[in-house]
Structure 1
Amino acid sequence: MTSVPAAPVAALTTLLQDFSLEMTGKDVDDLAAARGVIPAGTRVNVTFLGNEDLAMRLSAARAVKATGLVPVPHISARRLTSAEMLAEFLTTMSAEGLADSVFTVGGDPATPHGPYGDALSVIRSGLLETHGVRHVSIAGYPEGHPDIPAEVLWPALSDKYAALQVRHLAGDIITQFGFDVDPVLDWIAAVRERGVHAPIRIGVPGPAGIRRLMRYAARFGVGTSTSIAKKYGFSITNLMGTAGPDRFLRALATDYHPQVHGEVKLHFYTFGGLRATAQWIADFRKTN
């Protein structure tokens, strides 16, 4: 890796001090293999996918806690079939001390499976705090959402932030991943201008195959023009290699200004595997 100026090195150190990770219910073995390189107390988000059930999500959250990390179970609002399903999920997690922190998001289904059409409706239900939740992460979309217009996204973000404050719930914002630092930092500045001052965790794709990264980017509406891909360090005409986020992180460290962007941290999406991502982060921290 090439050297970077002193100021970005200091900023990189700050940004990497309290990063978070993401895992699915199928990643328990990968988590065990990675425990030696993940700092104690690291927050690990546990997904709420359509092909996972409560037992799988519970097993993953248990494994996170047993490893000395902080489980952050996801709640996919539109996948919930009833208030009873949400209560059962929270009761089960809370009984084992796994529900102090959650991440709530609208989710993939175009039509809600039950009474919750978005994350705001879950927050306003009152069920989170009554089941011991104290910290709620919400989603942010620096490059927009493929199915939700900006004129809906902005008030939704402000409303969720306000609802958390009213309910005395701490929280942060976890963004979708991206390859280009500029729209991310511009979006964060706009968030602050709107009076939303929660910490923001910038979504970063861990090292993965370029073809896989392109597939996820297309799914989530992330920009992948030739110029953006070149800035990130790969070519969209050659999809056989792998890419890590080192260029993205260095650019972020150079252009991040706390007085403008507020408290910013990193959230790694483990498309290339939890263990591989954790090891990459450990190696990157040592060399930077």
Structure 2
Amino acid sequence: MHRTTALLHDLSVEVTARDRTALARAGLAAGTRVSITHLGTETAQDRLDAAAAVGAAGLVPVPHLSARRFADADQVRDALAGLREHGAHERVFVIGGDPRTPAGPYSSALDLIRSGLLADHGVREVGIAGYPEGHPAIPEAELWEALAAKTAAIAEQGMAATVTSQFSFDADAVVAWISGVREAGVIAPIRVGVPGPAGVGRLLAFARRCGVGSSAGIVRKYGFSLTNLMGTATPDRFVADLAGRLDLAHHGEVHLHVYAFGDVAATSRWIAGAAVRALPLDASKPA
């Protein structure tokens, strides 16, 4: 399989619970993994309804569990039981979450994973976060320690791990990070975060919130203009750069994870178009 096609194969998409009504008509390919974020502005029922909508659309739900938002173990059990009732419990993504002060005993994703509650409720695959350009509030060494500890804890409980990265605009940084993950002995599949089609101004605002690059660096790597903040940017250039730098034999299993940013339809159209554009691109490249 050629490198660009390999990235597009089995890609995943990230949405919020409020995107659930758009999923049925979005046109995502059957079987696409759809991550559902765990936001403080949405209710548990909102997320369950979104998981049900993902399944009804022929897609695979991957609900997020934000460790710091759970007040106690019973709340976690209730969430997992609800997901099980909707057939959405086998794959989850565990994140520490935004609140600075935990609502309960789980101050990190690792705390929730080590609780044993996921395996007890039939979870088979646990997604965890990766940060190619670092984290604005967590030192680099701690990120690597946490990655190793989380993958080890997941394996010890008989579950599989996947690592999904924060979105980036810098293919060089992403490839260096993937190499570091593999050199650390983590062989789990990696899903590289990319923004779906989005307005330039909105994209830069998200990047600032996440501590991703500088405006000048984003423009240089991503190829859009700061003079047209009303324009739309797509990840085509980044994906092509990433594909050109990946060595599948060394970097292992790598896919894309596309952040929809509230426009599932535009994201779906970009995915369909990217698959078509990859064909002539790959035909001219060695495998």
TM-score bracket, shorter-length normalisation? over 0.9
2:91–2:123 Cα contact (<8 Å) kept: yes
Q: Does 1:12 align with 2:9?
A: no
Q: Does 1:138 align with 2:125?
A: no
Q: In structure 1, what is the Cα distance between the partners aligned to 2:226 and 2:213?
A: 12
- Report matched runs for 1:203-282 at 5 Å: 203-271=193-261, 273-282=263-272
Task: Answer with 187-196 or 271-280: which moved more.
Answer: 271-280
From 63, 73, 84, the counterpart of 2:63: 73
Instruction: Kindly provide the amino acid, as one letter, of the partner of residue 21 in structure 2.
Output: D
**Residue 27 of structure 2 is aligned to residue 45 of structure 1:** no
Q: Unpaired runs of 5+ in structure 1?
A: 1-8
Residue in 1 aligned with 2:112?
Answer: 122
TM-score (norm 2): 0.94
User: Mean Cα displacement is larger for which, 269-278 or 97-106?
Assistant: 269-278
For 1:133, what is the secondary structure of its paired residue?
Answer: coil
Aligned match of 1:83 in 60, 73, 82? 73
Letter in 1 for 2:66: S
SS of the residue corresponding to residue 123 of structure 1 reads: helix
Q: CA deviation at 1:123?
A: 0.7
Residue 103 in structure 1 maps to residue 93 in structure 2: yes
Change (3 A) 1:272 1:130: closer
Larger mean Cα displacement after TM superposition, 122-131 or 272-281: 272-281
CA contact (8 A) 2:199 2:229 kept: yes
Match of 2:282? Answer: none
Deviation at 1:27, TM superposition (A): 0.5
2:19 counterpart residue number: 27
SS state of the match for residue 244, structure 2?
helix
Q: C-alpha separation between the residues in 2 aligned to 1:115 and 1:63?
A: 31
SS at match of 1:201: strand
Residue type matched to 1:162 in 2?
A
- Give, as a single letter, the amino acid of the residue that structure 2 aligns with 1:251: D
Please report how far the alpha carbon of residue 86 of structure 1 lies from its aligned counterpart in structure 2 after TM superposition: 0.6
Aligned mates of 1:226, 1:108 — CA distance in 2: 27
> How far apart, in 1, do the equivalents of 2:105 and 2:226 lie?
41
- CA distance in 2 between counterparts of 1:40 and 1:243 reads 26
Residue in structure 2 matched with residue 285 of structure 1 by the alignment: 275
> Deviations for 1:237-264, whole angstroms, at most 9, x for unmatched residues?
4322110000000001100111221110
Q: For the aligned residues, what is the CA RMSD?
A: 1.2
Residue identity (%): 54
- State the distance in 2 between where 1:41 and 1:171 align: 19
Secondary structure (helix, strand or coil) at the match of 1:115 reads coil
Which consecutive aligned stretches of 4+ in structure 1 deviate over 6 angstroms post-superposition?
Answer: none
In the alignment, structure 1 residue 196 sits paired with structure 2 residue 183 = no
Query: Secondary structure at 1:265's aligned position in 2?
Result: strand
Aligned to 1:186: 176
For the 8 Å contact 2:96–2:108, the answer to whether it is kept is yes
Structure 1 partner of 2:284: none
Task: Describe the superposition over 1:114-154 as per-residue Cα deviations: whole angstroms up to 9, x where unpaired.
Answer: 11001111111111011111110000001000111112111
